[in-house]
Amino acid sequence: MNLVVFGLSMTSGWGNGHAAVYRELLRGWTRCGHEALFLERTQPWYGKRRDLPRGGRVPVPRGAPGSSSRDSRVTARNGDPALERCPLVDSTADPSVHEFAVPGFCRVGEYRDLRDLKRWVREVACADCVLVGSHVPDGSVVGRWVQEVASGVTAFYDLDAWETVARLERGDGQYVSAEELPGYDLYLSTTGGALLGHMEERHGVRRACPLYPAVDCTRFFRAISAVSSDSSDCAHPADDEAGMRWRAGTYGAYCPGRQRQLEGWLLEAARQWPEQRFVVGGGGYPAGTVWPGNVERVPELGWDQAPEFFGGMSWYFHAMRPEQRLWGGAVGLGMLEAAACGVPTITEPWEGMERFFAPGSEIQVVRSGQEFQRVLKETSPEALREMGGRARNRVRAEHSVGRRVLELESLIVNAAEGWRGESVAGRNGRAALFGPMAGAVERPSGAW
């Protein structure tokens, strides 16, 4: 399949959690033999802080043989030629553009502004699926344009579902509007549970489905005694308590809603336990934040640094946002990355937790700062390794990149099949144009 994704950023993870989600998903997507193009708006603050390797810029003529898995005869939803229908397109413009080659991931392209989208119209028109992510600059305009031009499945991928709901309730359509959402074939979200039903019932999305974050377990190496022998390829030198740098840590950009818990639980534990070391990763914290001397700060975490960072903890602390307490149904990527290293998460309970980890067995549930400190001090190294091993096995089985790619493939194919059950007029002729998609491909071995 040929997938086009509009997202906040994939080349820079500075100040946003989207990049890591996209990197994992699209790396797995191309590893399965599919094609992918990630498009992001040129932003100076991301351009100065790219943390992915990239090749040189190369001109790629649009419509050239092999540039797409779909042919250029595709039409827009109203039956007019896509290149003529799009109001942003100048058909006399130079059809070549510059794009990044990102080794091991996918093609990555940039556009300077909305009018610059004309450079990518053939890719969008010919893709089997186009995803528009949340927090894309002028995302509502981009989404409407995609719905006009695309001939394949269109989907909104919401990595900020709680914020999206709040914006919709107050009529803020900067990133996605209430009028635009029903025009997508799929609403995909990193948050599941009750929120999906809310989006269908209140905001009229056609089909709301979860597409949770995932991890490539082969990137995260840490041997623990509870992991079965078939995981021996994942050895890590720090396989015991003495090898851990930090007793507990967390990662995430500053969020006022969870700062109180961070202060009252993790930082207070650091103050009460000065002989132990702790770590807080992520940027955006106010300049006046007082950090105990035994708390290490990691403002930015590069793609290649994540395994060492998460694998250096004994516990990963998940600080809850108020929206997660309200809606539930979500898992932080940091929890999955830590579990892939055999590091268990300690957190307060939320609705739908068992969808990701079994409480008491694969994740430690606490309800107060005092209980948090007690667990950190009293849990034996053996119990910690066993819980971490079970968490890691759960991630390998249910939250690996390979598993998530299969889910996305199925969602796209099912959405396309749905067109064939409707009238051609009802789908503006797209079903008749939709060719066979690559559903069965040779996959890499192992739980990745």
Give one DSSP letter per residue of 322-377, joined into a string. HHHHHH--B--HHHHHHHHTT--EEE---TTGGGTS-BTTTBEE--SHHHHHHHHH
Alpha-carbon distance of 218 to 396, in angstroms, equals 10
Question: Given this model, what pLDDT does residue 102 score?
Answer: 66
Q: Where do the H-state alpha helices sit in 170-255?
A: 194-203
pLDDT of 90 reads 35
User: What SS3 state is found at 383?
Assistant: helix
Rounded-to-integer distance, Cα 128 and Cα 68, Å = 9
Q: Which residue, among 111, 113, 102, 150, has the nearest Cα to 129 in the 3D structure?
A: 150
- Amino acid, single-letter form, for residue 230: D
The helix (run of H) or strand (run of E) holding residue 246 is strand 246-251
**Helix/strand/coil (H/E/C) assignment for every residue in 83-99:** HHHCCCCCCCCCCEEEE
- Which of these, 295, 1, 282, 248, lies nearest to 131 by C-alpha position? 1
Rounded Cα–Cα distance for residues 97 and 2 (Å): 19
How far apart are alpha carbons 123 and 74 in whole angstroms? 11
Q: What is the DSSP string of 4-31?
A: EEE-S-SS--TT-SHHHHHHHHHHHHHH
Angstrom CA distances, 400 to 294, 361, 428, 448, stand at 34, 19, 37, 6
- ∠ CA 167-168-169, nearest 5°, is 90
Q: Quick one: how many helices (H) and strands (E) in the chain?
A: 16, 15
In the numeric block, which tokens belong to residue 61? 């003529």
List the pLDDT tens digit at each of the 448 positions of the chain. 999 999 988 887 667 789 889 999 999 999 999 999 999 998 776 666 777 765 544 444 344 333 444 443 333 344 434 333 334 333 333 334 456 656 578 888 889 888 888 889 999 999 999 999 999 999 999 999 999 999 999 999 999 999 999 999 999 988 999 999 999 999 999 999 999 999 999 999 999 999 999 999 888 864 333 333 344 333 333 344 545 799 999 999 899 999 999 999 999 999 999 999 999 999 889 998 999 999 999 998 888 889 999 999 999 999 998 888 889 999 999 999 999 999 999 999 999 999 999 999 999 999 999 999 999 999 999 999 999 999 999 999 999 999 999 999 999 999 998 854 443 334 343 433 333 343 434 444 455 6
For 203, other C-beta atoms within 10 Å of its C-beta total 17
Spatial contact of 123 and 37, defined as CB atoms under 8 Å apart: yes
Give all domains of the chain, ordered by start, each with its CATH number: 2-213+401-433 (3.40.50.2000), 217-398 (3.40.50.2000)
Nearest to 157 by CA among 193, 128, 127, 191: 191
- Nearest CA to 403 among 346, 344, 446? 446
